[in-house]
Structure 1
Amino acid sequence: MPELPEVEALKDFLTEHLVGHEIVRALPVAINVLKTYDPPLSAVEGREVTAVHRYGKFLDLATDGGPHLITHLARAGWLHWKDRIPDVPPRPGKGPLALRVALETGAGFDLTEAGTQKRLAVYVAADPQDVAGIARLGPDPLAGDFDEARLAALLKGERRQLKGALRDQGLIAGVGNAYSDEILHAAKMSPFKPTASLTPEETTRLYEALRGTLTDAVERSRGVAAGRLKAEKKSGLRVHGRTGEPCPVCGDTIREVSFSDSSLQYCPTCQTGGRSLADRRLSRFLK
């Protein structure tokens, strides 16, 4: 799933390639990709892209005096830039192609989604805040005013585990399954540690890990072409997706906890005092 660093890099890439150019065609290929109907998708055609913004994991293409074309790539979606869009319109079908956008230059991009669970979403809105997912977002963890006191205030009164809190878009925008694993590994904390148990020193450690992990990932992704961002993300991860490999910090074997539709990875030595997290029912007692 693209998370804050990858979406930030896509924002920079699209700013360079889209701003100042006119959208001449916006073609939905998968019928379920459009989540709005007013304004229609055709409202962005003939409009010049004036800016590209990121809200959490949402990408927003602002047009001149017109609507915003907004997308959320969800778990298996991606953006593919094309220097030349085919002249023949794509045929609706069961393939991965969900939406095609063409510019007056002949270039453009495709939005695709792999797998059977179709969650990629496209919105056309007069204002980004009209999109419910954007309106409910918490603060951006890389914003200039997101300091340690802000994080402490957000976590105060929370009655859940750190992993779930970090992934809650209504609490902190942009962090998903992969980077929450990376942040907790950097902070040397169990994913199931209760937020209410954090000491001031641990809050400081978590804040530094949050900002540092995301900042480093953004810097690694900066200037990387859209098609290479997935590989760049994977290469920079230290624990997520690396079950069975040695921890790059201590050498212990990275372990995994699986759920119905996802999994998390962690290092026992670095994060849980050497104890393995068997499952949620047993692991909730680990601090």
Structure 2
Amino acid sequence: MSDTTQTKIDFSKIQVMGILNVTPDSFSDGGSFNSIDNALAQAEQMVKDGATIIDIGGESTRPGADDVLEQQELDRVIPVIEAIRANFDIPISIDTVKTKVMLEAVNVGANMINDVMALQAAGAVDVAAQLKVPVCLMHMQGSPRTMQHNPQYDNVIADVEKFLLQRVEACLAAGIPKDLIILDPGFGFGKTLDHNITLLAHTSELLKHDYPILIGLSRKSMFGHLLNRDVSERLAASLAGVMVSVEQGATIFRVHDVRETVDSLRVWKAIKEKQK
């Protein structure tokens, strides 16, 4: 296993995770970076813009997305991880639900697992425990293919919290240390606009369990529904979401627009320091 997997990421401090989708069909940037040269150039730009983690995904999780075969996903992500690891000293996250992709990605230099299925795939919890890297557990109702087909909750905050804590218990039981677990409420994954806004308003509820919270709001369709804005016109809304969630205590922000997010967070931090 690569020594780079032992890179420590301090999730108590603000981390800006730049999204690098090496897919032909992701909702915002599909097809833009599915060559090694383009992916490497985008990684370089994100590093310059202040990203502290790069999140690489080889399978779209947009609503209605088709499944991707394991080998196809490996062929997309492994060369890109190798290229970024060879050129940049930055933590790399692998965005996948597949155990073999997790294993191979970490073996070639990924430092973190970001799983929209919260390690529910067969063997995923055990593989993550074996790899000894941070894992992000995300809530999703249904699957990417079906998740927006009339999602319903008794209480979206309580239901999301209950699911995430159940997955935490499964991870702890498998031997994953508490300090390697991150929670993600899963904005847009099996949730209506009202569900998403409610979750965003109550993000602090998840923080009472002392796990870092990852927020993924960037360019999401919730803002399209709220503001009638196309995906290319959702930057201001995305930044507003970041500000609301950082104020509540979230520390990890998964974004497309790294420079603008970093700038916004720098302003917030400067103001906070003057309030002490």
Give the TM-score, by structure 2 length.
0.30
The structure carrying a bigger helix percent of its residues is 2
Q: Which structure has more strand as a fraction of its residues?
A: 1
Bigger radius of gyration? 1
